[in-house]
Chains A and B, each alone.
Chain A
Amino acid sequence: MPETSGVTAVTIECSVNGTSYRATVEARLTLADFLRERCGLTGTHLGCEHGVCGACTVLVGGRAVRSCLMFAVQAQGREVTTVEGLAGPGGALSAVQEAFRSEHGLQCGFCTPGFVVAATAFLADNPDPSEAEIREAMSGNLCRCTGYQGILRAVAVAAHATASAGREELK
């Protein structure tokens, strides 16, 4: 555990995309700013910094969270995955990333890391979602460009792709 006696700077250790980090951070530093400024992982975007837009969504212990609403000290000992950690070896796009590309799930790309991370966590939990479930799961992320249709299609296509890949493996 971090030093607990009322300190304004804390030394933390956590894993980000499989790499271990040890750093002394101000207690008030958000996980989002830690990832962007201290780890150099600028894929995590900050739209609102108060929990509303979802652009900063990352995985902590495999579950989607808002990195703007968590302090870096709260990630002590945890495993964090950002959008940079989703691609396969050699940068091969994940099923969700591939589907966002093929279905035009992005335009300017600002919201995309948050959507891709949220969709990845959602499909891991619910690999065969209905359209209504996809809509609900994506309702926590805002996009100002696409009009959402391409995004919803991308999540459906990714679910389908993952399911058929699973069936191939079973054969």
Chain B
Amino acid sequence: MKPAVFAYHAPASVEEALDLLRELGDDAKVLAGGQSLVPMLSMRLSVFPHLIDVGNLGELDGIRIDEERVTVGAITCDSLVERDAGVADAAPLLSRVTPYIGHLAIRNRGTLGGSIAHADPAGEYPAAALALDAEMVVRSAGSQRRVGASEFFTGLWSTALNPEELLVEVDFPRWKGRSGFAVAEHARRHGDFAIAGAVVGVTLDADDRIVRAGIGLFGMASTPLRASTAEADVIGRTYTDCDSEQIGHLSVEGLDDVVADTSGSAQYRRQVGAAMVARAWSEAVNEASNA
């Protein structure tokens, strides 16, 4: 259980980190909080000749909030997101999912950007990024681009990031109006990766009609997913007209690569997933209707 030898780089700026990434390409891996990477290195599931430690780059650390968005620097640690009163107000779903990530000692080191870049299909932040329509700000030497969450998670632990690219921040749009948010997940023990879970964001108009819905599923497939069919089905209807259990079933209907493992069969996961959507939906709608 010891990592293989690697060369350690601690660049002093983002520019320097980007130069290193361009130079080393596939031979290098970014080290952020290390809460996913170090176990993989220790178990020798992966070996990289070079690690580029971005953990001290102040430029990537911290949270900015304006009228339109909450921007989280890539190396902002989970426990900071969890405690930030501004986040609780402007992007409540982020505050609500964070306590489900591992345990406090994990959240004290793990970073939001690391979670998104790692793209675990059972991760809370990737699903929340999808449901909220977040945008990833990605840089490489000499260029910058923005990638919408719906294009970012491309496969099991894989993303739209190229080897020479660094995720620098994640932009979460602020949902206006009568909005509500909730997370529900099922795990054997608190802090374990979810067997299945769901996040929901919903906005109602003055007549209680659903004008915006984001339903994110995690732990269900090889990537986090958006339940687009269920979302399309509820838009324009009044919330009292929507049955949460039906929305749950609709959300998992048609999923063809539901995970089966020692925690449960695909059929079991589907049922748990549907129940989690129903639970999160009821809570989110309840909050929105009282807003």
Residues on A lying within 8 angstroms of B by beta carbon are 1-2, 4-8, 10, 26-28, 30, 33, 49-51, 54, 57, 63-66, 68-71, 73-74, 118, 121-122, 136-137, 139-140
Contact = CB atoms under 8 A, between A and B. Distances in A.
B8 A73 contact: yes
A1 B190 contact: no
Contact of B9 (A6, A68, A70): A6
Contact of A7 (B8, B39, B79, B106): B8
Nearest to A50: B39
B43 interface: yes
Nearest to A9: B8
Interface string B43-76: 1000000110101100000000000000000000
B56 A1 contact: yes
A6 to B, nearest CB: 4
A69 B6 CA distance: 16
B10 A1 contact: yes
Given A28-B3, A69-B39, 10 more contacts: A1-B12, A6-B8, A50-B39, A51-B38, A65-B108, A70-B109, A74-B34, A139-B103, A139-B190, A139-B191
B42 interface: yes
B4 A54 contact: no
What DSSP secondary structure best describes chain A's contact surface?
mixed
B104 A140 contact: yes
Interface residues of B, number: 35
6 contacts: A5-B9, A27-B7, A28-B2, A66-B35, A74-B34, A140-B105
B1 interface: yes
B104 A64 contact: yes
A28 B105 contact: no
A57 B106 CA distance: 10
Contact of B105 (A7, A8, A66): A66
